[in-house]
Amino acid sequence: MEFDQQGNLLRHWGGQVDGAPYQWPLSNHGLWVDQKGFIWIGANHNSDSHILKFTKDGKFIKAWGKKGSGPGEFDTPHGLALDSQGRLFVADRSNSRIQIFDQDGKFIAEWKQFGRPSGIFIDGNDTLYVADHQSNAKINPGIKRGIYIGSARDGTVRAFIPGLGADAESTSVGEGVAADAAGSVYMSETGGMTVRKFLRK
């Protein structure tokens, strides 16, 4: 669904999308609108997982991927973002990695140093923010829950905001993450139905 700045519904689309190999409704976990207006969606459909690309008018362009753990395969693609080079970053959550693609869906790389990503955001300086709210001793062992901050250019992790709480198994970390021009980080916490703001020192 598309809304104007006052919250009025402008349009929506669904059902069978012309030219698309999938029928809506889908379980859509990630969405990104790039500077040219293209709409990117990370979706799960029955036992499948894939990336969809549309024009700003909702016309289907292409789709790629399937459920799995290999390059170009997904298991719950849960967040999307594009960097300054136009590369698509996919938070492939259940595979505990970020996958990177070009505009045509060609696989470039996978990164596992940012935890088990649910939310992902890239700012205008190519700073990458990743929210991990699932890692623990059983799921992605050895990795801490929290918000990872690093470079979308080379994958370097530069900072980490740990989950709130004394117990690593019950830390409070959100699924969504964003940052403003001042460097403040915002986290949407689904379990607590809360938005938290972290100020840059």
Side-chain-facing half-sphere of 149: CA atoms under 13 Å: 18
Per-residue pLDDT of the chain (201 residues; tens, 9 = 90+): 888 999 999 887 766 666 666 665 567 778 899 989 999 988 876 667 889 898 988 888 998 999 999 999 999 898 999 999 999 999 999 999 999 999 999 999 999 999 999 999 999 999 999 999 888 888 888 888 889 999 999 999 999 998 765 455 555 677 889 999 998 999 887 767 788 888 877
The pLDDT value recorded for residue 113 is: 96
CA-to-CA separations, 138 to 38, 45, 121, 142, 169, in angstroms, rounded: 38, 27, 26, 9, 10
| Best CA proximity match to 107, nearest among 73, 82, 140, 134 | 73
Taking the C-alpha atoms of residue 105 and residue 66, their distance in angstroms, rounded to an integer, is 12
The pLDDT value recorded for residue 165 is: 55
Q: What is the pTM of this model?
A: 0.89
